[in-house]
Chains A and B, each alone.
Chain A
């Protein structure tokens, strides 16, 4: 993983409950990438090849019909649906500011989840918390 040690990534809430052997499988799927303001990270309708975890920056999750929410909390998950389904992305994600995200290879993650259902349970629990926090903070709209 470029420029970020595994321990720092493991402290992110979304990965906090993973068992050591599960974490060993997830670490190779992570890549730290820089995003620039205005960059479209996820495009609605595209094949879901990655999900992203916010490390730094302000992001807008928006649907083509115009509704959106914004997130800037470290550890927020973007494109989470791609971890569990190969269906197309259901929303766009655009960076409002420069920032950093952790990219997770969704295809391989789905394979690992298929091989170990406990991984799905653990990740889904944390992602659900993440989404409900997002909504309780008053961000309107919904996006997968």
Chain B
């Protein structure tokens, strides 16, 4: 028994088919992974924002609310403490761009994003002259809650 007959006898065609299927499936899976890799990397780079969004989604899930939620104050506890120390050092009122530069020069992470969160939480508030102040009242409440 030789040639095609032998191949047929020993399930050669079926094995070739399975082999081709396995290889193509793996190649398709690999190409899909590579095509979506940038999304995974973007999510990894913005993991803090993603974690925050997930937390808010979990909290809001089932409530059916469409109101714009305030940022999770717990998530900015440590950055708030760092900025509070920095502002105590630099004095008030302060220039927001100068504060951002100082925070960056001290190696604080995601300074712009954090400042945005602090403004949204009313920990940093504008005065009437284009400068900003630290909201001690809100921060004291925030700190008081932390001590519990």
Hey, which bits of chain A sit against chain B, CB under 8 A? Answer: 37-38, 58, 60, 62-63, 66-70, 72, 92, 94-98, 138-142
Q: State the CA gap A95–B110 with chains docked (Å).
A: 12
Q: Decide if A96 touches B112 in the complex (CB within 8 Å).
A: yes
Contacts A/B (CB < 8 Å), 26 sampled? A37-B110, A37-B112, A38-B112, A58-B116, A60-B96, A60-B112, A60-B115, A62-B95, A63-B130, A66-B95, A66-B130, A66-B131, A67-B95, A68-B96, A70-B96, A70-B119, A72-B120, A95-B112, A96-B112, A97-B112, A97-B116, A98-B49, A140-B128, A140-B131, A141-B131, A142-B130
Q: Decide if B130 touches A69 in the complex (CB within 8 Å).
A: yes
Q: State the CA gap A69–B95 with chains docked (Å).
A: 10
Q: Decide if A141 touches B113 in the complex (CB within 8 Å).
A: no
Pick from B49, B98, B119, B126: contact of A140, CB below 8 A: B126
Give the bracket for the number of chain B residues in contact with chain A: 20 to 34
CB nearest to B46 among chain A residues: A98
Given contacts A140-B126, A140-B127, A142-B130, contact A97 B113 (CB under 8 A): yes
Q: Is B97 among interface residues, defined by CB-CB distance under 8 A?
A: yes
Q: State the CA gap A60–B132 with chains docked (Å).
A: 12
Q: Decide if B113 touches A68 in the complex (CB within 8 Å).
A: no
Measured between beta carbons, the chain B residues less than 8 angstroms from A97 are 112-113, 116
11 new A-B contacts at CB < 8 Å, known A68-B95, A94-B97: A38-B111, A58-B116, A58-B119, A58-B120, A60-B97, A62-B96, A62-B97, A67-B95, A72-B116, A97-B112, A140-B131
Nearest chain B CB to A142's CB is how many angstroms away? Answer: 7
CB nearest to B98 among chain A residues: A66
Measured between beta carbons, the chain B residues less than 8 angstroms from A142 are 130
Q: Decide if A67 touches B113 in the complex (CB within 8 Å).
A: no
Q: Is B5 among interface residues, defined by CB-CB distance under 8 A?
A: no
CB nearest to A67 among chain B residues: B130
Q: Decide if B115 touches A96 in the complex (CB within 8 Å).
A: yes
Most buried by B among A69, A96, A141, A142: A96
Q: Is B74 among interface residues, defined by CB-CB distance under 8 A?
A: no
CB nearest to B118 among chain A residues: A96
Given contacts A58-B116, A95-B112, contact A140 B97 (CB under 8 A): no
